Structure 1
Amino acid sequence: MRNLSDWTVRSAVGKAGECLKAAGIEGSRNEAEILMVHILDWPRHKVFLEGTHVLSTEETTRYFEVVDRRAQFEPMAYILGSQEFYGRDFSVTPATLIPRPDTETLIDVALKRAQFPAKGGVLADLGTGTGCILLTLLSELKARSTSGRFSGVGIDISEAALKVAAGNAAALGIADMADFIQGDWFAGVPVLEDGYDCIVSNPPYITTDEMTGLMPDVRDFEPTGALHGGPDGLAPYRILTTQAATYLRPGGLLAVEIGFEQAKAVSAMFVQNHYQSVEVMKDLAGNDRVVSGFCPKN
């Protein structure tokens, strides 16, 4: 490799693109540019306009270090430290699942179907990870309501993930609206006298057989506990559909993300547990993505 003091933005990006392409990274040139933006903290267009800018030795070293990490298939979100979700940036670490566009369907369903009193409402998010689902819902409800007060609780078994979620709440300016509690599914959920208006979850749903076939950037880097849903991928749904009614108010909404082949099985669990108006919502790619239903009103 050339001398560390002999790289311009353009030459470094070109070399990085070649390295990433050789490693099998799709969109290698684009990712090389994104990594340069990250290292220099520049606007994207400046990488094009100032391609002859000479990098310092430190900048060159740091740049090719992150390029090497990406060439080893470490997810871009972990390298950058953040991921956009529903128009907001969320901090991510290897302790958390990376937010994905498919999960935005869960936000749309909860906002459309959950029925909140005029005074506001309370939500719970099980397996909260980055907190992106709970915090997005609270932010959207706050923006859309003129008088209602909303709050929520995020539950996760990982203490490290909860720290990330709390940091995201603070960054969004809604730390006073969300509490984060360590617990295993409903074991950590506080019981409310009036019940929760909405419970949401993006649980692990990858089957044991499917785990081995995941892309390396998912299989080797994202937390297994946030991916693996047991031999048939349905274990978390059995917990969610059998226990949520204890915490929801009558008429409260349970909404869960699913794998695209799980709609029939998960919908059946909702029906078996007497949820009403059970619906399946597709994501933008046309795949079944969210099952939701209302807690029985007795």
Structure 2
Amino acid sequence: MSNTIAALLESTPLNKTDAKALLGHLLDKHLGWPRSALISRDQEPLPNELLIAWKSLESQRISGVPVAYLTGVKGFHGIELKVNEAVLIPRPETELLVDLALEEMKRIHAKVPNQVIQILDLGTGSGAIALAIAHECAISKALINLRILGVDQSTAAIELARENAKALGLNHMVEFLQSNWYAAIPDQFQTAFDVIVSNPPYIQKDDPHLLDSDLRFEPRAALTDDGDGLSCIREIVNHAQHYLKPGGLIAVEHGYDQAAAVAALLEKRAFHDISDLADLAGHLRVTQARK
């Protein structure tokens, strides 16, 4: 029969990973079936409304619309986030920033257990980095007093980040503020942060991937500065000294070929202990330094 899970998976031109993600989403939405039904109930006939919805999602995915936008969710560092076209889709390489922040938190907590640790997430989008850090803190046995401020210039992004924080029960640790980088951050936060993390727009304006890949569906302002790919990083680095505590850590994600340029920007602003971290593909993806 052509209206079963098995038949749909067999006939679709989509790769099996995408197809199963979309079908699993529809099975949950329309029938309340768990993802395991993709195997356990793959011969049962599906209702017509689900089949219509499947054809719509299949067609959109064939045209390039990312799976995360079609399902409205994306997993990231152990949490599930709501995402939409207003925000960048969280990617595995960005988890490096979460891991760095967590290591720094543990280091500080071990030295000064009662200290309130404050983290700034610049360009927070869906809140992925800030909320992943807070989630790990919440489930750990260490009694870490954590406060995170996530900022983004997009009103829609901030609204979504707040929605994610509420859904994850992390409102008590994370606050979101609409701000163009540091512009709207209150003066009380000067030299207040132990860690600054950011995944800013860093793709150059003429990069062909902006036009011929799934990236064309993501918000352009979250991907590129419409310049050399370094202007947002310059803004972040040039003012970070005003917001970091002495010895504070800054970590910035960047393009695979931008590590040397980012290190030079940090060195120019008198940061020290500058180092790079590679992603799973072996590309230098994050540069970190201390005030």
Same fold (TM over 0.5): yes
Q: Does the 8 Å CA contact 2:116/2:145 hold for their aligned counterparts? A: yes
- Residue 199 of structure 2 aligns with which residue? 202
The answer to whether 1:30 aligns with 2:27 is: no
Tell me by how many angstroms 1:194 deviates: 5.3
Matched-pair contact (CA < 8 Å) for 1:142–1:149: no
Cα offset for 1:36? 1.4
Aligned 1:81-230 pairs, distance under 5 A: 81-113=72-104, 116=108, 117-118=112-113, 119-144=115-140, 146-191=142-187, 192=189, 195-211=192-208, 215-219=212-216, 221-230=217-226
1:261, distance to aligned residue in structure 2 (A): 0.3
**Alpha-carbon distance between aligned partners in 2 of 1:145 and 1:181, rounded to the nearest angstrom:** 29
d(CA) in 2 for partners of 1:38, 1:272:
49
What CA distance in whole angstroms lies between the structure 1 residues aligned with 2:185 and 2:22? 40
Q: Deviations over 1:159-182 (max 9, x none)?
A: 111111111111221111111111
1:164-216 superposed Cα distances (whole Å, 9 cap, x missing partner): 11111112211111111111011122232651111110000000111555543
Q: Judge conservation of contact 2:78–2:132 (CA < 8 Å) in 1.
A: no
Structure 1 gaps, min length 5: 21-27
Q: Go from structure 1 to structure 2 and tell me whether the alpha carbon gap of 1:194 and 1:265 turns closer, same or farther (over 3 Å shift).
A: closer
Distance 1:137 1:103 in 2: 12
Please tell me whether the aligned partners of residues 201 and 221 of structure 2 are also in contact (alpha carbons under 8 angstroms): yes
Counterpart residue number, 1:25: none
Distance, in Å, in 2 between the alignment partners of 1:162 and 1:147 is 28
Q: Is the 8 A contact 2:21 2:67 kept in 1?
A: no
Give the letter for the 1:39 counterpart.
Answer: L
2-structure distance, mates of 1:222, 1:138: 25
Give, in whole Å, the separation in 1 of the partners of 2:137 and 2:4: 47
Does 2:5 align with 1:9?
yes
- For structure 2, list consecutive stretches of 5 or more residues without a partner in the other structure: none
Partner in structure 2 of residue 44 of structure 1 = 35
Instruction: Tell me: CA distance 1:144–1:283, structure 2 relative to 1, closer, same or farther (3 Å).
Output: same
User: Which residue is 1:77 aligned to?
Assistant: 68
After superposition, the CA RMSD in angstroms is 1.9
Number of the residue aligned with 1:63: 54
Output the amino acid matched with 2:289.
G
**What CA distance in whole angstroms lies between the structure 2 residues aligned with 1:30 and 1:137?**
28
Distance 1:13 1:270 in 2: 50
* 2:36 alignment partner, SS class: helix
Match of 1:261 among 257, 260, 273: 257
**SS of equivalent to 2:201:** coil
Per-residue Cα deviation, 1:77-103 (whole angstroms, up to 9, x for no partner): 011111111111111110010000011
Compute the TM-score of the two structures, normalised by the length of structure 1: 0.88
Deviation at 1:13, TM superposition (A): 2.8
Change (3 A) 1:276 1:88: same
Alpha-carbon distance in 1 for matches of 2:10, 2:116: 53
Tell me, yes or no, if the aligned pair for 1:205 and 1:230 is still in contact at 8 Å: no
SS at match of 2:172: helix
Task: Mark the CA change 1:280 to 1:214 in structure 2 (over 3 Å): closer, same or farther.
Answer: farther
Give the percent of matched residue pairs that are identical in Structure 1 and Structure 2: 36
CA pair 158-70 structure 1, distance change in 2 beyond 3 A? same
TM-score normalised by L of structure 2: 0.90
The verdict on how the C-alpha distance between 1:268 and 1:38 changes in structure 2, with shifts beyond 3 A counting, is same
Count of residues paired in the alignment: 281
For residues 283 and 290 of structure 2, the distance between their equivalents in structure 1, rounded to whole angstroms, comes to 22
Superposition pairs of residues 244-255 of structure 1, within 5 angstroms: 244-255=240-251
